[in-house]
Structure 1
Amino acid sequence: MKAMVLDHIGDVAGSPLQLRDIPMPLPGPDEVLVKVHVCAVCCTDLHVIE
């Protein structure tokens, strides 16, 4: 599945958010897996972490 991953915060070259393929998580006992159709990140949040 696709995921936006935050590797670091601060003065490091490049974008702190990277689009990656990660394995689909398997829910454990008493857990559920929720399918998300749409999500967003506020531009202000991106400004703060950069």
Structure 2
Amino acid sequence: MATRAERAERVERWKRSGLSAEKFARRQGYKPKQLYWWRWRLRVDGASCR
């Protein structure tokens, strides 16, 4: 299982890539839904830390 820092890095690389979630995830070897979930979880975690 990826750590929070690893998930944040993957989401950031996805954003910088300019690719769709589908293309980016498949190139990296994971499912597009994972990217969406990681992004959502990071937002939720960030909001609860404030």
Fold match, TM over 0.5? Answer: no
TM-score between the two structures when normalised by the length of structure 1: 0.24
| TM-score with structure 2 setting the length | 0.24
- Structure with the largest fraction of strand: 1
- Which structure would you say has the larger Rg? 1
